[in-house]
Amino acid sequence: MDAHYNNNFVPVVSDELLQLILQEIARRSRANARSDVLDLPCGDGRQAVAMAKLGARVLAADVGGCENSVRGRALAAAVHDLVDFTVAELGDLSLPAGPFDLVFCHHGIDRLPYVEARRVVRGLLRSLRIGGKLFISAYGLHSALGEDYPDADKPVEARHAPLAPALARCYNILEPVCLYTERNLVTLLFEAGGSVLKTFTTTHGTVKGVAVRV
């Protein structure tokens, strides 16, 4: 993750959704309000470390094999006292309970059928304090991944299929996925009980959004 810093000492990163949550953490920090953040799925911990560098307390969550990478990155960045790790997956029946001020869910719900994703997003919203924000993204139906996608013409509730074989190998996404339009993401957040603040589609076709718990 390449980054430089703007005049507010917020790292400018290439991922728009990560940039938004970093700006929110910095804003809260300037108001003397530390942010408790859930990062699920956290992957190798790069995002969690970027948040902790701005003073957030981050609970990084993912499959157990990610723990050494997350803790190692946090130690190398001298933010190990602000980053903790727990084993959790979005498809689990129980999610980290919180309460959190912010939740970052980057490319996780697209691996789930829509109905299950709606249940998970509802759980993530409930893990937030009132007024807390969920930052979320999903692979886009109108991205490169949507080429020859077998469920492209189905409603989102019935959309859960493997990518075209060549694309699945290229992107190493071998399990079935539910691809989203921006409108689908708005509907998901609304049905899960969130108040949608912002949605957008990136130049690569990924759909992203921010919702608040009310």
Residues 6+ apart with CB under 8 A from 128: 98, 99, 100, 101, 102, 103, 134, 213
Cβ proximity of 141 and 150 under 8 Å: no
Check residue 11 and give its pLDDT: 65
Q: Residue 100: in which H helix or E strand, if any?
A: strand 100-105
Predicted TM-score (pTM) of the model is 0.92
Two tokens at 13? 């990163």
56-105 confidence digits (pLDDT tens): 999 999 988 899 999 999 999 999 999 999 999 888 767 898 899 999 99
Check residue 183 and give its pLDDT: 97
Q: Which amino acid is at 58?
A: V
Write the class of the CATH domain 3-139+178-212.
alpha beta
128-187 confidence digits (pLDDT tens): 999 999 999 999 999 999 999 999 999 999 999 999 999 999 999 999 999 999 999 999
Distance separating alpha carbons of residues 187 and 167, to the nearest angstrom = 27
